Amino acid sequence: MKPQRILVVGAGHVGLYAALRLSDKVRRREAEVTVVDPQPHMTYQPFLPEAAAGNISPRHSVVPLRRELRRCRIVSGAVTRIEHARKVATVQPIIGPAREIEYDHIVVAPGSVSRTLPIPGLREHGIGFKTIGEAIYLRNHVLDRLDVAAATRDTETRRRALTFVFVGGGYAGIEALAEMEDMARDALKYYPELEQGDMHWVLVEATQRVLPEVDRDMGAYTVKQLIKRGLDIRLDTRLESCVDGVVKLSDGDSFPADTIVWTAGVKPSPMLDHTDLPRDPRSRITCLPTLQVVDGDRVLDGAWSAGDCAAVPDLTGPPGTYCSPSAQHAVRQAVRLADNIRDVIRGKAPTPYKHKHVGSVASLGLHKGVAQVYGIKLTGPLAWFMHRTYHVSRIPSFNRKVRVVIDWTLAFFLKREVVALGQLHDPREEFTEVTPKVPG
């Protein structure tokens, strides 16, 4: 029998774990695995807030694909189209013309993108918080704004530079806001020109609560803690406009801000619009609990999906509920999905995915956190410690775990680094300035 061709679209939490598991559990003569992703690494997104805050090196919060997936063929590019009726995917490599890849099984896992709204000025002035590039840009930008505020004599410029607005109070938004504020507060020790009270950190959340992933009392605790730290928490409030960086809120308030971070949820990858795969009203690929793609009653042969882009029934909840878009589900679904592909290749029936969401852990800055795991509620340093131990146990590969623990240990003894490397975002500027133009 010829080896089955397995194509993995996206090497994130689902794609990387599925490819690793397939490498481990399927014999070479049974299957060959091709992984397509425009990035050369998987990003462990739960570590983005800590990477932005400088507790973890950016390189250590990502997992290099070529190093970890030695048994897979890696294609650096994006899948732009899937015609499952022909079992063909179109890949746009990072260089050169697009090409088609044929497959027997496809794992569709391109994840999600920021769910934005048509708010005036958002496109021009907002930034998301989903990629390592965004996290590190934000870190450098926030530290750079401290330098601007310290250098200027104009009070309006200073006020604008020191106003940081985060929109969306889920775990990504809350962790990003709390970690960045914690870092800036630390950094202020080295800025005699600035005072803690000069900074204005604002959370804008459309609903009446934050952290919907945990119980209300834990969300309320988080709000209380953030207010105690001097943060400006606006619940039941929406961002209405940010034209020219002037933030206008639905509560009638308006102020200029140099930093507007959008963390108000995610939606499935828009690449799915260019596929013939069935989707639900929220644009997610419809799946069976076995992670096979299903169109009504018809199971699509060789099509699999999981993670943020998939509607996977939650067998532990009431009928009609679906697994939440979380790393917790994504990595477990990936393992189930890989084992199911192996079983189907070997002529066995696939097994349904079943996992009861154990809860959430969130860091609110150094030694501060909130956790609700298996019904147990923790706050403060204990919750923060749980957040760290949980995520270090989850990041793939021993190599990354060691690097992350070393980063934390160094930051503990030597204090975290709070220097802006803004030059990284425009490294050729100085060189082009000193290099003469050649006429003609």
Ligand X SMILES: Cc1cc2nc3c(=O)[nH]c(=O)nc-3n(C[C@H](O)[C@H](O)[C@H](O)COP(=O)(O)OP(=O)(O)OC[C@H]3O[C@@H](n4cnc5c(N)ncnc54)[C@H](O)[C@@H]3O)c2cc1C
Residue 386 makes contact with ligand X by CB under 6 A? no
Closer CB to ligand X, 81 or 185, in the complex: 81
Closer CB to ligand X, 129 or 201, in the complex: 129
Residue 13 makes contact with ligand X by CB under 6 A? yes
By CB under 6 A, name the one of 22, 31, 72, 79 that touches ligand X.
79
Tokens 């800055």, residue located: 365
By CB under 6 A, name the one of 111, 278, 313, 359 that touches ligand X.
111
Stretch that binds ligand X, among 32-40, 228-236, 279-287, 404-412 (CB under 6 A): 32-40
Residue 11 makes contact with ligand X by CB under 6 A? yes
Choose among 336, 289, 300: nearest CA to 25. 336
Tokens representing 131 are: 């990629």
Residue 109 makes contact with ligand X by CB under 6 A? yes
Calculate the dihedral angle through the C-alpha atoms of 67, 72, 77, 83, rounding to the nearest 10 degrees.
-160
CB of 75 to ligand X, least distance (A): 9
Specify the DSSP class assigned to residue 199.
-
By CB under 6 A, name the one of 119, 330, 345, 378 that touches ligand X.
330
Closer CB to ligand X, 30 or 215, in the complex: 215
Residue 78 makes contact with ligand X by CB under 6 A? yes
CB of 292 to ligand X, least distance (A): 17
By CB under 6 A, name the one of 326, 339, 395, 418 that touches ligand X.
326
Residue 271 makes contact with ligand X by CB under 6 A? yes
Closer CB to ligand X, 52 or 249, in the complex: 52
Residue 170 makes contact with ligand X by CB under 6 A? no
Q: Which residues contact 152 (CB under 8 A, 6 or more apart)?
A: 158, 161
Residue 63 makes contact with ligand X by CB under 6 A? no
d(CA 43, CA 128): 15
Tokens representing 189 are: 């020790």
Long-range CB pairs of 296-302 (<8 Å, 24+ gap) are 300/84, 302/84, 302/87, 302/103, 302/104, 302/105, 302/106
Residue 14 makes contact with ligand X by CB under 6 A? yes
Specify the DSSP class assigned to residue 113.
E
Number of other CB atoms surrounding residue 86 within 10 Å = 10
Count of positions on this chain that bind ligand X (CB under 6 A): 35
Helix (H) or strand (E) holding 255: strand 254-256
Choose among 272, 271, 300: nearest CA to 288. 300
Helix (H) or strand (E) holding 327: helix 327-345
Residue 370 makes contact with ligand X by CB under 6 A? no
3-state secondary structure 147-171: HHHHHCCCHHHHHHHCEEEEECCCH
Stretch that binds ligand X, among 100-108, 247-255, 301-309, 408-416 (CB under 6 A): 301-309
d(CA 23, CA 31): 9
CB of 285 to ligand X, least distance (A): 11
Residue nearest to ligand X (CB): 12
Calculate the dihedral angle through the C-alpha atoms of 192, 197, 198, 203, rounding to the nearest 10 degrees.
130
Binding pattern for the stretch 251-270 against ligand X, x by CB under 6 A and - elsewhere? ------------------x-
Q: Rounded to a whole number, what is the largest CA-CA distance in the chain?
A: 75
Residue 52 makes contact with ligand X by CB under 6 A? no
Closer CB to ligand X, 16 or 249, in the complex: 16
By CB under 6 A, name the one of 307, 313, 365, 369 that touches ligand X.
307
CB of 159 to ligand X, least distance (A): 28
Q: Which residues contact 151 (CB under 8 A, 6 or more apart)?
A: none
Between the CA of residue 185 and those of 104, 142, 200, 201, what are the distances in Å? 53, 11, 11, 11
By CB under 6 A, name the one of 259, 328, 340, 372 that touches ligand X.
328
Query: Which parts of this chain interact with ligand X (CB under 6 A)?
Result: 9-15, 36-39, 42, 45-46, 48-49, 78-79, 109-111, 129-130, 171-172, 269, 271, 307-309, 325-328, 330
